[in-house]
Structure 1
């Protein structure tokens, strides 16, 4: 998967528990990885996590996943859609996200040098643009939202070895 853009924004305000955040891509255009860091102004004990994965198509976009789930269940990897469970297992390699709630006050959480190896995902053979949107919600109000633009692209075995 080739990442093209990664951005995030916060709703701001004193009621938002995110003190600071940063999202982006590294500068190496041949081997793009994404990173995200945030620090909490207060402990986040309960939240919902919303994710949407869309593959643009004409005349109608193909929605692969559109889901809002309990964020604490996502962290503990309980009762999940298999794709979300697999995503959590992959994310564990690149992040220090907790295995259970809460996100602690004052601690910096991160995803660093994340690069998705499609070999870890069940059989798929396609090339397509992908839009992924996510949000951390509290009482259905967005606290932090992000958007990733990427492209699923096949590589030849010769390219993988070099």
Structure 2
């Protein structure tokens, strides 16, 4: 007796559903832990920046990072640089996940971006008051506060690894990087105590 097409489709759908469920469960056992976040600026004469600070929270269990800045003048056209590296013992074998420079105004508006950058911009909206279009205005305290990356939003992660992230904003008008940041983090398995039931 041959199986009916409808029954075959039910079996295929169940297999796909079970496979999807196991993949999503696998993602839930990892989290991104921030170890350090430092920032610098090439604006040593304070032509652009009025205030600038960054760091990580004091809580060792649920560390988050923050960055705040206030500008003296509006910043319109600018470039945003990001590099994400999964370091290895030898620098020659480091895995570079992203190494790109993009139009900062397009990034703020979340258009014409690679999918991972669009996703990152969407996530950032929950933690920052960055504008959705250029320019960055003067005398406004812009911030990213309490940032934690939910790995469930990303493609499946199935390994523990260190992660180094470099980022910077460069003014086209002044030709200097007015903000640079360097984040040291790690993807690690969530302990059984912290794992959602």
User: Which TM class, normalised by the smaller chain length?
Assistant: over 0.9
Q: Answer with 1 or 2: which has the greater Rg.
A: 2
Q: Which runs of 5+ in 1 are unaligned?
A: none
Q: Which residue of the partner structure matches residue 6 of structure 2?
A: none
Q: Which residue of the partner structure matches residue 167 of structure 2?
A: 134
Q: Which has the higher helix share?
A: 2
| TM norm structure 2 | 0.78
Confirm or deny: 8 A CA contact 2:75 2:171 kept in the other structure: no
Q: CA deviation at 1:16?
A: 4.0
Q: Which residue of the partner structure matches residue 20 of structure 2?
A: none
Q: Which residue of the partner structure matches residue 30 of structure 1?
A: 61
Confirm or deny: 8 A CA contact 2:78 2:105 kept in the other structure: yes
Confirm or deny: 8 A CA contact 2:127 2:145 kept in the other structure: yes
Q: CA deviation at 1:141?
A: 2.7
- Report the Cα distance in structure 2 between the residues aligned to 1:16 and 1:81, rounded to whole angstroms: 32
Kindly indicate whether residue 52 of structure 2 is the aligned counterpart of residue 17 of structure 1.
no
- Report the Cα distance in structure 1 between the residues aligned to 2:107 and 2:78, rounded to whole angstroms: 10
Q: Which runs of 5+ in 2 are unaligned?
A: 1-31
Aligned residues: 162
Q: Which has the higher strand share?
A: 1
Confirm or deny: 8 A CA contact 1:16 1:143 kept in the other structure: no
Q: Secondary structure at the match of 1:88?
A: helix
Q: Which residue of the partner structure matches residue 160 of structure 1?
A: 195
Confirm or deny: 8 A CA contact 2:80 2:169 kept in the other structure: yes
Kindly indicate whether residue 101 of structure 2 is the aligned counterpart of residue 68 of structure 1.
yes
Structure 2 counterpart of 1:109, from 118, 135, 142: 142
Q: Which residue of the partner structure matches residue 179 of structure 2?
A: 144
Kindly indicate whether residue 127 of structure 2 is the aligned counterpart of residue 94 of structure 1.
yes
Q: CA deviation at 1:66?
A: 0.3
Q: Deviations over 1:23-60 (max 9, x none)?
A: 10000000001111100110001100000000102431
Q: Deviations over 1:103-124 (max 9, x none)?
A: 0010000011111111111212
What value does the CA root-mean-square deviation take over the aligned residues?
Answer: 1.6
- Report the Cα distance in structure 1 between the residues aligned to 2:58 and 2:85, rounded to whole angstroms: 25
Q: Deviations over 1:3-24 (max 9, x none)?
A: 0000101112457422211110
